[in-house]
Structure 1
Amino acid sequence: MRVSILTENGEIHTIEVDSQMELENIKALLEADCHIPVEEQLLFHNETELKDPKSTLQNNNVAQDDILTLRRRSKKPRTQIASIPGGPAASSSVRPGQIAQGGGDPHNAEQIRQHVLNNPATLRQLQETQPELADAAVNNPNRFHEIIRELDVQRRSAEMARLQQIEHLNADPFDMEAQAKIEEAIRLENVAANMEAAMEHNPESFGRVTMLYIDAEVNGHPVKAFVDSGAQATIMSPECAEACGIMRLVDRRFAGIARGVGVAKILGRVHSAQIRVGKDLFLACSFTIMEGKGVDLLFGLDMLKRHQACIDLKKDALIINGTEIRFLSEHELPSSAKDNPELTPEELASMGGADKGKDAAASTSSAAASVTASSTSAPTASTIAPTPAAVSAPASVPPASGAAPTSHPEQNIQTLMNLGASRSEVIAALDAAGGNVDFAASFLF
């Protein structure tokens, strides 16, 4: 029969034994697996200590796939510091969600504190995710030890809840709902493992990618142009057209509606205007004047192809006729490109997250917008397909306080966030667990 052994360190050992095997023989096996002397071992089944060394598993009602808890016969549990992320045997990067594995041993907690203090990057990360713990590490060692103990208790409780949930779900292999939950739990474990591997091997994938902007000048007015090879047409906002003094040249016969990710009104088209890029490169350009928000000027595929431009990411420049126009650094980008505001109700509606009957105020960079002429004298309808102008921040970053509300109680969210998980991870786990805090904690750990 197969039996799982849960140690105080949170480790799980699975052993194959006979139901008639005596406890003293089982403890001898565990001494080799768990490195705990037989005389210090305490075995529990359903919170009941198994004391008789001559009794068998069957005598103690231990069944297939049951969980036995192994504790050390001492006042304070001993935790191997080598297994603690951030300990001496670990790398300098500590994930706060795992720092609770320091256990209740003050010596281990002090080693963790010293490691945090000796690694500025680790301390900075801790200040961002768990400011109370970081402050205690610097100013109050006793409080730091206390928080570590609390986190360790919470981690163990979550692990026990996870094991109990697994045991409950495995009780009836023909329960379709239970099997679905098992499948979802496995999927979440795979997602967590995939994210952990990505953070270890290619952490740059979690960084923010700045969009491609260049300095330009239209009719003597400086403007930062967003270079978007996925946009079919070059687009300018009405405000920018007014500032550049070309609104008087708008041909309103080309007015229409752009549909795609949302809806935007097209006021018309400026057929030809001079744009300067770089120091002395002047280009003839046409602009579609479109309402919305996002960018003042979007340099689209029509102009890129017309002037045979090349986006060279190695040189970090836009090359036109042999002239290199460098892309702007992040600090030079316009405020609309730096900010990451929350989605408006109209944008949520365009994504299906609100009333679909409402018209969405589309961004100038919609994924694929088709233009329908509104005037009978207008030319044949064209198609505009810009790509999004900004990429949202990674999921592992906690959202701003103005984030979309959730149906889960804030107290439950904060409880799980205190374990070291981000708000988005906590909400996803609560959704998967149907609001059950214990199940959500098991998903997270």
Structure 2
Amino acid sequence: MKITVMTADEQFITLDVDPEESVENVKALLEVETRVSLQQQQLLFNGKEMRNAERLSSVGVRDNDLVMMVLHTSAPSSRAPTNDLSFHPDGSAINPGAFQQHVRRDSDMMAQLLQRDPALAQAILGSDLNGLQNLLRERHQQRLELRRQQEEEMALMYADPFDVESQKKIEAAIRQKGIDENWAAALEYNPEAFARVIMLYVDMEVNGVPLKAFVDSGAQSTIISKSCAERCGLLRLLDQRYKGIAHGVGQTEILGRIHVAPIKIGNIFYPCSFMVLDAPNMEFLFGLDMLRKHQCIIDLKENVLRVGGGEVSVPFLQEKDIPTHFLDESRYSKQGSLGPGSLPESSGAKEKNDNMPTGSRSSGTTLSDPTRGPEFEAKIAKLVDLGFGREAVIQALSLFNGNEEQAAGFLFGG
């Protein structure tokens, strides 16, 4: 149950306690919160003093009840000296060693901490006093923030209902509460939404050379890098009349086109054509043109790629089987070149085919650049408000083609 304690300096502290908790243990929790020693505290409920040995339920304290705390100015000190257990204004202990030993000796307080704040309990049981001090400062800041929010909520409760600014603040508080509840529900029921999504890769052979192929149904064309094409012995077939520039998160040069070459998926060979890009961060991308030509099915239930309407099925690779440099999306976005998720058509890439012969120009649709405009800036502002750096937010949004939810999941999971 939750009880609210009004301290001697008229501050309100909310405690989550068991109905059978002893009054002495409640005082111990208040000692941590208020820095007022247990011996100096006197707790009153309905005007009557509650004794240390009594249980909250036995004195009639129920959920959401208010308890008053007053001070005994002449209380004896049977524990460590007050100076050793007092705190600096930033929340750190003046004598962290004495504070640590004081809490360790109190088995009831340690039991409470292990249940309600395991991180602080482990710091007290450990030997890193600097880590304990940092954690105490962090908890102090959290209490100050909570107290500030409570004060703002109390002020809004008594605000003039006809005051426009007060109503705006109330509306913002209600909206933020809804967002916080939605975020907490997502953490509990849909935690995978905050994890990094691993792209889809399969094993293929291109002209007899084994590769890890990135499967992207959002990319208009199947793409191979210059270095990969050279390794596969295909550069001799490069048609340079199809040169151009592909624009996406950044831009990269289209060196030309290889009109047909054999790829092996499973145990069957298929003809395939490629655009050749000067993209060192990507080897081979199996795009929508070949996915449609060979009637491929991306089966996420069985986690396989089915080719030829199902005549061949190859499993998508697990993260451990994918080269680490393929998974380094942040490096891709920093390089400003086309990496996974940022290729033609799916990310607004366009081809400039001014050097192509008449009748051979690409008919791909040109989309707007997602890294421009007020909508993109609004997404940046929302993610920056969650505590991420602006540069990291821009990179994440660019990586996921402006998708705010996927960018947030990447940042939380990073």
How high is the TM-score relative to the length of structure 1?
Answer: 0.54
The answer as to whether partners of 1:237 and 1:291 remain within 8 angstroms in 2 is yes
Counterparts of 1:73 and 1:201, CA distance in 2: 43
Partner of 1:381: 362
Partner of 2:339: 363
Partner of 1:72: 69
Deviation at 1:137? 4.6
Partner of 1:339: 328
Q: CA 1:9–1:311 in 2, change beyond 3 Å: closer, same or farther?
A: same
The one-letter code matched in structure 1 to 2:330 is P
Q: Deviations over 1:25-74 (max 9, x none)?
A: xxxxxxxxx99342249xxxxxxxxxxxxxxxxxxxxxxxxxxx963236
Partner of 1:188: 176
Counterparts of 1:49-64 in structure 2, within 5 Å, are none
SS at 1:370 equivalent: coil
Partner of 1:354: none
Deviation at 1:276? 1.2
Counterparts of 1:142 and 1:261, CA distance in 2: 46
Q: Deviations over 1:405-444 (max 9, x none)?
A: 9xxxxxxxxxxxxxxxxxx89xxxxxxxxxxxxxxxxxxx
Counterparts of 2:366 and 2:263, CA distance in 1: 22
Q: CA 1:171–1:317 in 2, change beyond 3 Å: closer, same or farther?
A: same
Q: Deviations over 1:217-253 (max 9, x none)?
A: 1122221001111112111111211221211211111
Deviation at 1:259? 2.9
Q: Deviations over 1:108-156 (max 9, x none)?
A: 641145449xxxxx97xx5xxxxxx475254259999988776654443
Counterparts of 1:211 and 1:272, CA distance in 2: 26
RMSD: 4.4
The answer as to whether partners of 1:274 and 1:285 remain within 8 angstroms in 2 is yes
Q: CA 1:8–1:247 in 2, change beyond 3 Å: closer, same or farther?
A: same
The answer as to whether partners of 2:253 and 2:277 remain within 8 angstroms in 1 is yes
SS at 2:182 equivalent: helix
How high is the TM-score relative to the length of structure 2?
Answer: 0.58
Q: CA 1:135–1:244 in 2, change beyond 3 Å: closer, same or farther?
A: farther
Counterparts of 2:273 and 2:334, CA distance in 1: 32
Counterparts of 2:189 and 2:209, CA distance in 1: 45
Structure 2: which 5+ residue stretches go unaligned?
A: 7-11, 17-42, 51-65, 76-102, 371-382, 395-410
The answer as to whether partners of 1:137 and 1:144 remain within 8 angstroms in 2 is no
User: Is 1:110 aligned to residue 110 of structure 2?
Assistant: yes
The one-letter code matched in structure 2 to 1:38 is G
Partner of 2:287: 300
The answer as to whether partners of 1:317 and 1:326 remain within 8 angstroms in 2 is yes
Deviation at 1:324? 1.3
Q: CA 1:174–1:208 in 2, change beyond 3 Å: closer, same or farther?
A: same
Counterparts of 1:295 and 1:216, CA distance in 2: 15
Partner of 1:9: 14
Q: CA 1:134–1:231 in 2, change beyond 3 Å: closer, same or farther?
A: farther
The one-letter code matched in structure 2 to 1:196 is A
Q: CA 1:242–1:144 in 2, change beyond 3 Å: closer, same or farther?
A: closer
The answer as to whether partners of 2:332 and 2:339 remain within 8 angstroms in 1 is no
Partner of 1:372: 352
The one-letter code matched in structure 1 to 2:318 is S
The one-letter code matched in structure 2 to 1:110 is M
Q: CA 1:398–1:158 in 2, change beyond 3 Å: closer, same or farther?
A: closer
Q: Deviations over 1:355-402 (max 9, x none)?
A: xxxxxx44363313222212152512232799x9xxxxx9999979x9
SS at 1:233 equivalent: coil
Deviation at 1:195? 1.0
SS at 1:328 equivalent: coil
Partner of 1:234: 222
User: Is 1:316 aligned to residue 289 of structure 2?
Assistant: no
The one-letter code matched in structure 2 to 1:8 is I
Counterparts of 2:68 and 2:316, CA distance in 1: 61
Q: CA 1:140–1:398 in 2, change beyond 3 Å: closer, same or farther?
A: farther
Counterparts of 2:261 and 2:197, CA distance in 1: 31
Calculate percent identity across the aligned residue pairs: 35
The answer as to whether partners of 1:267 and 1:289 remain within 8 angstroms in 2 is yes
Q: CA 1:269–1:201 in 2, change beyond 3 Å: closer, same or farther?
A: same
SS at 1:240 equivalent: helix
Aligned length: 295
